[in-house]
Structure 1
Amino acid sequence: MAHPIAPAAVTTPAITPLSVRAVAPWALFFGVLLLTVLYFVGAEQGATSLISGESVHEWVHDGRHLLGFPCH
Structure 2
Amino acid sequence: MAQAATVSTPIPTPLPAPIPVRELLPWAVFGLVLAVLALYFVGVEQGAISIFSGTAVHEFTHDGRHLLGFPCH
Question: Aligning the two structures, in what range does the TM-score lie when normalised by the shorter sequence?
Answer: 0.7 to 0.9
Quick check: 12-21 or 62-71, which moved more? 12-21
Q: Which runs of 5+ in 2 are unaligned?
A: 1-10
Higher Rg of the two aligned structures: 2
Q: Per the alignment, in what secondary structure is the counterpart of residue 51 of structure 1? A: coil
How do 1:1-72 and structure 2 match up within 5 A?
12=13, 14-72=15-73
User: Which has the larger share of helix?
Assistant: 1
Q: Which amino acid in 2 is paired with 1:63? A: G
Runs of 4 or more off by more than 3 Å in structure 1? 10-14
Identical aligned residues as a percent? 60
The two structures have a TM-score, normalised by structure 1, of 0.79
Aligned residues: CA RMSD: 1.5
The two structures have a TM-score, normalised by structure 2, of 0.78
Question: Number of paired residues?
Answer: 63
Q: Which runs of 5+ in 1 are unaligned?
A: 1-9
